[in-house]
Amino acid sequence: MSTKLERTMQASDRSYSEFEGSSTWQVVSEALAALEKNKDLQLQTERRLVVGYICKQLAANQLVAKSGVAQQGAPADPLASASLRQAVG
């Protein structure tokens, strides 16, 4: 039996493909892996769905550029928006 969030994430699975291979995807995936390794977090949903969901939420809230979730090797400025730069300091 799947959770409501898992069903929502699976339904959105196709929309996560734009984030796969991006630097944001890599950072989120590595952060989750570190939390799992330290036993601070235990995923009950497939990792790619969790990573995709987080990437999509970051883009939707303009914390990363939706199409500018840079592919690996491409330069990316996560502080591209002036408001985010101010918020971070």
Whether the pTM exceeds 0.75: the reply is no
pLDDT at 14: 67
Residue recorded with tokens 């235990």: 42
pLDDT at 77: 46
pLDDT at 3: 72
pLDDT at 15: 76
Residues of the chain with confidence (pLDDT) below 70? 1-2, 5, 8-14, 66-89
Q: What whole-number distance in Å separates Cα of residue 62 and Cα of residue 84?
A: 9
